[in-house]
Amino acid sequence: MEGIRICGGRPLRGSVQVPGAKNAVLPVLAASILCRGPVTLENVPNLSDVAAAARILQALGGRVSQPAPGRLRVLPPEQPGRAVPRRLMQAMRSSLFFLAPVLSRTSQVQVSLPGGCDLGARPIDMHLHGLAAMGARFAQDGQALLASAPGGLRGADITLRYPSVGATETLLMAAVCARGETMIRGAAIEPEVTDLARFLQAAGACITGVGTRRLRVMGVQMLQGVRWRICPDRIAAATVLCAAAACGGRVALTGAVPDHCTAVVRALCRAGCCVTATETGIALESDGRLRGIGALLTDVYPAFPTDAAPLLAAALLRAEGESAITDTVFENRFACAAGFSALGAVAGILGRTVTIRGVRGLHGAQLAAPDLRGGAALAIGALAAEGESLLTGVEHIDRGYEDLAGLFAGLGADTARVRRREAGAG
């Protein structure tokens, strides 16, 4: 079993090129099915979730190649298959993004309920209700979901009860080639949603209101092939910022978009960090002596992002005073709190809130990543601790970070990917 060996207690210094966003490239890969011509994607991170999406594309008849690091070339299928294999659907939650594009192209598709991190209930009813308003019909047989649109998808006026990123992206992909006009009200405005909309526009889609809560889409017959550069990963940027805040030091994030990171930067400044926008991205300086930030709520963009909540919690484990972070999106966002306690932190869970009372010092421990962002949070906690830690469950972390150990090592941390027995863990 693989793990990440972390010897903490070192400040982080240096610069990092922020990679392309996982949460942007996955819907774009699914949307490439709508294109009638080659799609070239740049700034693509090398992640297990990206590999899983490529396997789904290939299972549907597409061809995916990597002509250079960070670049993918997709040849969409002329006649897409109508079924996504169950094992591929269950590899990640984002597999659900293939539902709308395949339904648009073939008028019928069979998928399974998707997998992903265990963060609690993650209903897909808004996806299905929106597609039903556009003419889709659904039947469920156990874990299999059969969707059909015998007359093709048609435009509709849809109001989302909550600005769901996934539902907004699903309905955008359904609408761009549907007959007539679609209005999506209450849409999500996260940078990754905007990135998908801009990709679709570049391929020939007619979308107005991009970046607002109301999207208007006039369906076109088909989209064309396109070259597209994936937007920077604001959560990867938040990971580095929180790690440097916890450990002390100075880091520069090249390619980060300051406007995408405003809520995270604001919270870290409250904790005592100095964060500045630069000509090339963002820089953070910290002496590692942080203060508690009191209460903080996550919410939809532009509020503090749910994915960064455990990362910030990890940064505050040694802060003077108390912090209480409540996640309004997922009920099981802070499964990493048990690992915080193993490091010697004082962290407790009540409902959706993690409460942290800062301690003077942390110590190394045996840790297991419970999910993607929780795993990164435990790595941050271990970086701020004295002594050696071993973090297992790296298959979760690999879904969203190309090489987390190498990333931190490049900033001066003593981290390495190891086999478990190399760290004396049996």
In whole angstroms, give the CA distance from residue 300 to residue 191: 11
Using the 8-state DSSP alphabet, how is residue 382 labeled?
H
B/e letters for 264-299, b = 16+ CB within 10 Å, e = fewer, are bbebbeebbbebeeeeebbbbbbebebebbeebebe
Output the six-digit token pair for 107. 């008028």
In whole angstroms, give the CA distance from residue 224 to residue 202: 8
All residues at 6 or more sequence positions from 350 whose CB lies less than 8 Å from its CB, including other chains: none
Cα four-point dihedral sign 200, 206, 212, 216: negative
Q: Give CA separation, 52 vs 46, 55, 56, 76, 363, in Å.
A: 11, 5, 6, 16, 36
Which H/E stretch holds residue 298?
Answer: none
Name the region of 338 (left: φ>0; alpha: ψ -120 to 50; beta: rest): alpha
In whole angstroms, give the CA distance from residue 357 to residue 347: 7
Which H/E stretch holds residue 35?
Answer: none
Which of 7, 35, 117, 177 is catalytic? The answer is: 117
Residue 206, number of CB atoms within 10 A of its CB:
14
| CA atoms within a 13 Å half-sphere pointing along the CA-CB vector of 154 | 5
In whole angstroms, give the CA distance from residue 245 to residue 251: 9
Instruction: Note if 7 is an active site residue.
Output: no
Q: Which residue has the tokens 């409250």?
A: 270
Q: Give CA separation, 397 vs 27, 48, 371, in Å.
A: 20, 9, 7
Q: Are 346 and 316 in contact (CB under 8 A)?
A: no
Q: Give CA separation, 172 vs 28, 137, 206, 270, in Å.
A: 11, 18, 11, 37
Name the region of 223 (left: φ>0; alpha: ψ -120 to 50; beta: rest): beta
Catalytic positions are: 117
